[in-house]
Amino acid sequence: MNTDNPLVSIVIPTKNRPALLKKTIESVLVQTFQEWEIIIVYNSSDENTEKQITNFIKDEPRIKFFNVPESKTGGISEYLNFGILRSSGKYIARLDDDDIWCTRDKLRKQVDFFDSNKDHVITGGGVIMVDPDGNELYRYFKNENDEKIRKKALLACPMEHTTVMFRKEIALKAGCYGKYRVAEDWDFFLRLGQYGKFYNFQEYFTHYMQGEHNLSLRDQGEVARTEMGIILKHRKTYPLYLYGLSIHFVQYLYSFFPEFVKDKLQFFLRYIKRNYL
């Protein structure tokens, strides 16, 4: 095991959720591929939470912990870029503090794929959506190969963020994450795709917690406006931008529905979007 020059750097932003973060880290510790480092980017003055995290990671030198100022944009882009710039790995993997990798070979499969496919810049996998109690809600895969992913890249985000691994060198060339409060991953992935190919494993990599804490669920109007801007930005690189705009304009109109209607429909609509786009 090489702890001084890890091949994979795992960037995890977090804030005041040590119990969830502990489970997230544990899903990394059991990976069959062990040449990694974890970069935790934290942005709170809660001393109790910081103490819990520090105690948990004190015996694992591969875990690095940074307390940084709160983001100016309100999203996680600044934290992700901070982690990337301080990483040592050739590859960057993403994980959120409320999600866990459900496949022990996740990192190994992605590293092996990159080693054999030099023209690919990012890989992802399938997701099992769970509620805060860990009960499965539904599961889905994204489109698998580069051709299919590009064809629908402006209809919905082509990769699931907490499953991805990408080449650090290409991320730096692409300018890392943009200054978005939401949908920062979609814009970033589309820019990565200008340097090489996409691939999504048709295997489940992550248990993704779906709850009201998700920013993309709390403000559908902002999400739709941001995503329409991303579609317009990349309309000359990927096809079907008018179709993509239409879908997200409908999403924008949906944001004006009464809350009791949205409460009943939002998880179903997310299921449809993720499974069929």
CB count within 10 Å of CB 113 equals 14
Q: What is the mean pLDDT of residues 50-58?
A: 84
SS3 of residue 128 by DSSP: strand
Query: CA of 191: how far to CAs of 135, 186, 236, in Å?
Result: 35, 9, 12
Using DSSP, how many helices (H) and how many strands (E) does the chain show?
11, 9
**Cα–Cα distance, 29 to 21 (Å, whole number):** 12
Beta-bridged to residue 39, according to DSSP, are 11, 64
**181-190, 210-219, 221-230 — which is least confidently predicted?**
210-219
SS3 of residue 263 by DSSP: helix
- Say whether pLDDT at 219 is over 80: no
Q: Which CATH architecture has domain 8-217?
A: Alpha-Beta Complex (3.90)
Q: Quote the Cα angle for 249-72-262, to 5°.
A: 35
Contacts of 264-267 with CB under 8 Å at 24 or more apart are 266/217, 266/220, 267/137, 267/210
Q: Quote the Cα angle for 47-51-54, to 5°.
A: 135
Domain ranges of the chain: 8-217
- Say whether pLDDT at 213 is over 70: no
Nearest in space to 23 (alpha carbons), one of 32, 33, 14: 14
DSSP H helical ranges for 58-164: 77-85, 106-116, 146-151
- DSSP codes joined into one string, 108-121: HHHHHHHHH-TTEE
pLDDT bracket for residue 4 (50, 70, 90): confident
pLDDT value, residue 254: 83
- Say whether pLDDT at 57 is over 70: yes
- Say whether pLDDT at 262 is over 70: no
Task: Please say whether the beta carbons of 181 and 226 come within 8 A.
Answer: yes
Beta-bridged to residue 63, according to DSSP, are 38
How distant is the alpha carbon of residue 94 from its chain centre? Answer: 6
In this prediction the pTM is 0.92
> Considering the chain, what percentage of its residues have pLDDT values greater than 70?
89
